[in-house]
């Protein structure tokens, strides 16, 4: 598509009431990313590619998400919900700038691929005024049907307006359309609302194009790619399709998973070579896993980077801001948050490491807790390279453990420990020789006297 400019308009003014949710429909996530972000990221990119989203009134959060997902996206408000063609015209100002190709996609169709949108542009280059994306529906009820005569697309009939004969057609309108951008306004302005719903139907563009003596083309795709989401159960179905795709892509990239169906990935998860992921792992957004890393079973990871040959879990929880260096080891029942662990750091058992920096090779004993919160603010813990923190230590932040320092087990550390020093904070042990044997004898005598 070299040299052709594009404008992609995403329609997202729908109310989404059937989701039964206070969140606008297009902000619901699939694979850790909003429906809207999926669609925006499938849209043409780079110089000459503009993006616009049509939102409903009071949907500032949708506008914010659009700009977060693709900076530079413009937004337009459709004040009254008068149909899909009316929604497109809410972005009239953007259309009037006259891109070569105008793509219209729905914000609730997150599985659409960039490749399909590119495919739709090809007929325009060959002179068509409009490309429609079609699919064979297992159950076409509710979709607009594509009416084809003599191999040519002549119209789209909405479910409510279709005859019994037309309702038997299984070739359906996915909703995505590509217009010759220089003729788009002229076509869109001709769309009326003389139909059973009294709405301005975007699919009526097909009959208009035909009446103008121009060409309308059809590109077909699979039903999975164009699933529209109106309910929570359709949201779950889309998640399943997306997870299947992401797992397949991970396997194709060489990730080892013995039970891929139990591993949940995010759309932006990245993997190096020779990565292994054991069963029942949940990976949220913003995770990168470098070469040779192993994620053991039942781990939960969000916004974290995992270094080469690092090992995580089983049963680990890596929260946002975790960065593991090369060969770092996080063991069972360990939680980390905003924590940088340099190469070779070991936190093998039952610990909480938050707002911390741990230097290379430090060993953090079982049950070590960084006490990072005083009820009002978070404070930092810094542990130097090669330090050894004994088990069951509380590090009361802000606090600094020097490199090479030792902290005795069970200490509550409230003051900084210099490099190579020993810090020990515990009461002196009392030992009484023979005490336990005497105690047992006494108790046994008491018990037999009573029976
Ligand atoms: C639409 C198509 C139908 C197609 C189906 C595919 C029309 C008239 N019908 O039907 O041919 O088979 O999608 O899923 O286009 N929207 C607005 N403003 C409006 C109306 C809709 O922004 O005034 C947005 C919605 O948020 C949604 C999209 O447009 O993202 C489609 O609207 P929806 O009501 O879901 O249309 P369908 O009845 O599914
Ligand atoms: Mg729909």
Write the CATH number for 372: 2.160.10.10
Q: What is the pLDDT of residues 288-298, one digit of tens each?
A: 999 999 999 99
Residue 270 lies in a domain: yes
Give the pTM: 0.91
Residues 212 and 249 in one domain: no
Which of 226, 259, 281 is the last residue before a domain boundary?
226
- Among all residues, which ones are annotated catalytic? 349
pLDDT number for residue 37: 98
Q: Answer for the pair 301, 285: CB distance below 8 angstroms, yes or no.
A: no
125 and 183, same domain (yes or no) = yes
The whole-number average pLDDT for the span 43-60 is 95
Indicate whether 214 and 304 sit together in one domain: no
pLDDT at 15: 72
Q: What is the pLDDT of residue 303?
A: 98
Tell whether 445 is covered by a domain.
no
Where a domain ends, among 226, 252, 275? 226
| Mean pLDDT (whole number) for 87-107 | 97
pLDDT averaged over the chain? Answer: 96
Mean pLDDT across 251-263: 98
Instruction: Indicate if ligand 1 lies below 6 Å from the C-beta of 86.
Output: yes
pLDDT band at 445 (very low <50, low <70, confident <90, very high): very high
pLDDT for the residue 379: 98
Looking at residue 14, its pLDDT comes to: 79
129 C-beta closer than 6 A to ligand 1: no
The predicted model gives 243-263 an average pLDDT of 98
What is the average pLDDT across 104-115?
96
**Are 40 and 115 members of one domain?**
yes
Task: For 370, list phi and psi in degrees, rounded to 5.
Answer: -85, 120
Residue 129 lies in a domain: yes
**pLDDT for 6:** 98
pLDDT confidence tier of residue 151, bands split at 50, 70 and 90: confident
* Ligand number, closest to the Cα atom of 79: 1
Domain count, the chain: 2
CATH at 119: 3.90.550.10
Same domain, 168 and 248: no
> How close is the Cα of 73 to the center of ligand 1, in Å?
21
Ligand nearest to the CA of 158: 1
pLDDT reported for residue 146: 98
Question: Does residue 305 sit in the same domain as residue 394?
Answer: yes
**Positive or negative, the Cα torsion across 14, 18, 21, 22?**
positive
Cβ–Cβ under 8 Å, residues 403 and 418: no
* CB distance 386 to 421 below 8 Å: no
Boundary of a domain, candidates 210, 226, 242: 226
Are 216 and 254 members of one domain? no
In this structure, what is the dihedral angle of CA atoms 283, 286, 288, 294, given to the nearest 10 degrees? -20
Question: Range of 394's domain?
Answer: 232-423
**pLDDT tens digit string along 363-393?**
999 999 999 999 999 999 999 999 999 999 9
Query: How would you classify the pairing of strands 171-180 and 101-106?
Result: antiparallel
Q: What is the pLDDT of residue 221?
A: 97
pLDDT at 107 over 90: yes
Tell me, yes or no, whether 104 lies in a domain.
Answer: yes
Nearby residues of 326 by Cβ (< 8 Å), 6 or more positions away? 290, 307, 308, 309, 310, 343, 344
- The residues that bridge with 8 in the sheet, in sequence order, are 51, 103
pLDDT at position 276, please?
Answer: 98
The region that residue 364 occupies, defined by phi over 0 for left and psi between -120 and 50 for alpha, beta otherwise, is beta
Shared domain check, 197 and 127: yes
**CA pair distance 340, 351, nearest whole angstrom:** 15
Q: d(Cα 50, Cα 32) in Å, to the nearest integer?
A: 25
Together in a domain, 191 and 260? no
Ligand 1 center to 54 CA (angstroms): 12
* Domain membership flag for residue 433: no
2: pLDDT confidence band, cut at 50, 70 and 90? low
Q: Is the pLDDT reported for residue 1 higher than 60? A: no
Q: Are 268 and 32 in contact (CB under 8 A)?
A: yes
**3-state secondary structure labels for all residues of the chain:** CCCCCEEEEEEECCCCHHHCCCCCHHHCEECCEEHHHHHHHHCCCCCCEEEEEEECCCCHHHHHHHHHHCCCCEEEECCCCCCHHHHHHCCHHHHCCCCCEEEEEECCCCCCCHHHHHHHHHHHHCCCCEEEEEEECCCCCCCCEEEEECCEEEEEECHHHCCCCHHHCCEEEEEEEEEECCCHHHHHHCCCCCCCCCCCCHHHHHHHHHHCCCCEEEEEECHHHHCCCCCHHHHHHHHHHHHHHHHHHHHHCCCEECCHHHCECCCCCEECCCCEECCCCEECCCEEECCCCEECCCCEECCEEECCCCEECCCEEECCCEEECCCCEEEECEEEEEEEECCCCEEEECCEEEEEEECCCCEECCCCEEECECCCCECCEEECCCCEECCCCEEECCEEECCCCEECCCCEECCCECCCCEECCCCCCCCCCCHHHHHHHHHHHHHHHHC
Residue 90 lies in a domain: yes
Judge if 337 and 353 occupy the same domain: yes
Residue 318 and residue 354 in one domain: yes
Task: Note the ligand closest to the C-alpha atom of 59.
Answer: 1
Q: pLDDT-derived band of residue 100, with 50, 70 and 90 as boundaries?
A: very high
Instruction: Judge if 103 and 177 occupy the same domain.
Output: yes
Most confident segment among 13-17, 412-416, 447-451: 412-416
How remote is the CA of residue 4 from the centroid of ligand 2, in Å? 29
* Residue 30 counted as domain residue: yes
How far is residue 60's CA from residue 412's CA, in Å, rounded to a whole number?
A: 47
What average pLDDT does range 416-435 have in this prediction? 97
Of 16, 106, 225, the one to substitute when testing ligand 1's pocket (max ligand atoms within 8 A of C-beta) is: 106
For residue range 296-316, list pLDDT tens digits in order. Answer: 999 999 999 999 999 999 999
Q: What is the pLDDT of residue 358?
A: 99
Inside any domain, residue 434: no
Residue 84 CA to ligand 1 centre (angstroms): 6
Atom of ligand 1 nearest to the CA of 80: 23
**Closest C-alpha residue for ligand 1 atom 13:** 175
């Amino acid at each position: 598509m070299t040299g052709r400019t594009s404008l992609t308009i995403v329609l997202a003014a729908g109310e989404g009431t059937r989701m039964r949710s206070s969140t606008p429909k297009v902000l619901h996530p699939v694979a850790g990313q909003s429906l809207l972000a999926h669609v925006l990221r499938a849209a043409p990119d780079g110089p000459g590619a503009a993006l616009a989203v049509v939102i409903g009134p009071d949907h500032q959060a949708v506008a914010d998400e659009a700009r977060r997902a693709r900076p530079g996206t413009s937004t337009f408000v459709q004040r009254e919900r008068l149909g899909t063609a009316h929604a497109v015209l809410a972005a009239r100002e953007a259309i009037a700038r006259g891109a070569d190709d105008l793509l219209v996609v729905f914000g609730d169709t997150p599985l659409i691929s960039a490749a399909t949108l590119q495919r739709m542009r090809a007929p325009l280059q060959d002179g068509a005024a409009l490309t429609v994306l079609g699919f064979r529906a297992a159950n076409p009820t509710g979709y607009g049907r594509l009416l084809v005569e003599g191999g040519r697309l002549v119209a789209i009939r909405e479910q409510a307006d279709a005859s019994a004969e037309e309702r038997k057609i299984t070739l359906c309108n996915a909703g995505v359309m590509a217009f010759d951008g220089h003729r788009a306004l002229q076509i869109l302005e001709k769309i009326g609302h003389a139909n059973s719903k009294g709405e301005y139907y975007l699919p009526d563009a097909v009959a208009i194009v035909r009446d103008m003596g121009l060409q309308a083309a059809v590109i077909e795709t699979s039903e999975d790619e164009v699933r529209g989401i109106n309910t929570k159960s359709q949201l779950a179905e889309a998640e399943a399709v997306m997870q299947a795709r992401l797992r397949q892509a991970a396997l194709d990239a060489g990730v080892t998973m013995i039970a891929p169906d139990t591993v949940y990935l995010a759309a932006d998860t990245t993997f190096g070579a020779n990565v292994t992921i054991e069963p029942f792992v949940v990976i949220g957004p913003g995770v990168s896993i470098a070469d040779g890393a192993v994620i053991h079973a039942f781990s939960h990871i969000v916004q974290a980077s995992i270094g080469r040959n690092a090992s995580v879990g089983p049963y680990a929880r890596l929260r946002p801001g975790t960065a593991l260096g090369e060969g770092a080891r996080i063991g069972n029942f360990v939680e980390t948050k905003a924590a940088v662990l340099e190469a070779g750091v070991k936190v093998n058992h039952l610990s909480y490491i938050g707002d911390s920096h741990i230097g290379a090779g430090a060993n953090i004993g079982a049950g070590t807790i960084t006490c990072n919160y005083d009820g009002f603010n978070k404070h930092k813990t810094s542990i130097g390279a090669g330090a050894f923190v004994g088990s069951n230590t509380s590090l009361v932040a802000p606090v600094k453990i020097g490199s090479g320092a030792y902290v005795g087990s069970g200490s509550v550390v409230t003051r900084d420990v210099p490099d190579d020093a020993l810090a020990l904070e515990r009461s002196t042990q009392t030992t009484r020789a023979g005490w336990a044997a005497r105690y047992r004898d006494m108790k046994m005598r008491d018990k037999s006297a009573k029976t």
